[in-house]
Structure 1
Amino acid sequence: MEIKKNPKSNLENFSKIFMQIGLVLALFVTYAAIEQKTYDKTYGDLEVVSMNAEMEEEIPITERVEPVKPKTPPPPTPEKIEIVEDEKEIEETVIESTETDETEAVEVEEIEEVEEVEEVIEDVSFMIIEDVPVFPGCKGSKDELKKCFSQKVQKHFSRKFDADLPNELGLSPGRKRVFIAFKIDKSGNIVNIQARAPHPKIKSEVVSVMNQLPKMTPGRQRGKPVGVKYSIPFTLIVE
C-alpha cells in the first residue's frame, strides 16, 4: 500500500515567504538599534576638571636693591697760605743768533772734485766679442758677419800674396803653414800685425799684405768700441 503525501503539507512552497519575513525582521532590528538614544551618566554635583588647562606657576616679584655708596667726606679746609716774595734772581738764557751778516766772512770747506774714471775695457777676442768688426761690404747677423769677415781676409791674402816667393826661396816641396794675428783697434785700423812663417822673407811679405787691409767698422763691447784680436792660419804649397 503506497502512502500518499498531502500537497498542502509541502513546506518548500513557503520558503520564499519565510525568507522575506526574515529579511523584514532583520531590517527592523537594525533600524531600531540605530535610532536608540543613549545618555551620559551623571555623578552628583562633581565638577569636571579639565586636564588640558595650563598650569600657571606663581613667580614671586622681587625688587632690586642697589648697594648704598658711602658718602665721601668733603676735603679739609686748607690752612692759611702765606705769600713769600722770591728774592732769588733768575738767570736768563741768551740764545745767540746763527744768522750771518753779509759783511762777515764765512769759512767754507773746499770741495774736492773727483774725476770719474772711465772704465777701460781690454782687447776682446774676435770669437767672443758682442758686436764683431765689420769688413767693408759684409752684412747680416753676427754669425754671418763673422763668416764674411774671415772669407774677405782669406780672399785678400790670396790675391795680394806673391805665390812664387816660396819657390824662389828654394824651400822644400810640400805644404807650409803660416800663422797671422793682428788687431782691429777702436778706430777700425789694422795694427799689431804678427806672423810666423817658414822663412823671414815670407814673414815680411805676409805683414806687408796684411797692412793693405781696408779700414773696418770697429767692434763693440757693452756698447763701446774696443780693440779686437783676430788670428787666422794659411797654407802655402811649395812645388
Structure 2
Amino acid sequence: MEPKKNPQLDLRRNSLLYFFVGMTLVLLMAYLALEWKTYYSDDSWDVGELKVDEQLIEDATILKIKLPDPPKPKIQTPPKIEIKDDDEKVIETVIESNDVNQDTEIADVESIEVAEEEINEEIPIILVENAPVFPGCENEATEKDKRACFQEMMQKHIRKNFRYPDPAKELGLQGRVNIMFTIDKDGSINNVRLRGPHESLEEEASRIISKLPEMKPGEQRGIPVKVSYSLPITFKLN
C-alpha cells in the first residue's frame, strides 16, 4: 500500500539536526550576553589637577594675651640689734664635759636589774621554748621527752574519761570534734573552743577537757606564757 504523504515533505526527517543547530545558537547567544562589556564615556576630571584659589585661604588670627605682672618681692625688715652697755655684767654659761674619766666606777653586770617583759599573746605548743608539763612528766630529762610524755598522758586522759553520749547513740551520730584550748600562765585550762558534727558530741568533748588536771605552764625566755593546744576526738559507733 503506498503512503498518502510524500516522504520528502516529512518534517521529522531532519528534526535531530534542527535541534543541535538551535541549541548551538542558544548557547552562542548566552555566551555573548555574559561576555558583553560596556564602558562609560570618559568625561571625569582629575582631582590631582584641581587648583585651589589662594584667596579662599584665611589667615589665622593672631591673639595678644597680656600676662599679669609678677608679684613684688616682700622686703623683710632686718633684725634689731641691741647693744649692751659696758658697765652691765653678763653671766656666762659654763659648759662642763660629760666624758668618763679614769676614776669613774663601772657597775657590775649582776647588779643591773632587767625588767621582765610580759608576754600576753598565745603561743602554739609547737613554737613555745618550754612546753607545759603534764602531771607525771616532771622527771623527764629533755624537752623532747617532756613533749612526748605530754602527748601520751593526754591520750590516756581521753581514753579514761571517754563516754559515748546516749542521744548520739540513739541517733547514730558519728564524727570528729576538733578541740582547741589554752593552758594559762598559772597552768589552768581556759578558752575552750569546739567544733563538731552535733551538739551532743561537742558537750562530751567539753566534759573530757574540763577534767584535765592543772599543769605546769609553758615558758618563753624563762617567762610563763599562754600556750594554745589543739587535738581531735573521734566518735565512732561499733
- TM-score, normalising length from structure 2? 0.48
More helix by share: 2
Which structure has the larger Rg over C-alpha atoms?
A: 1
- TM-score, normalising length from structure 1? 0.48
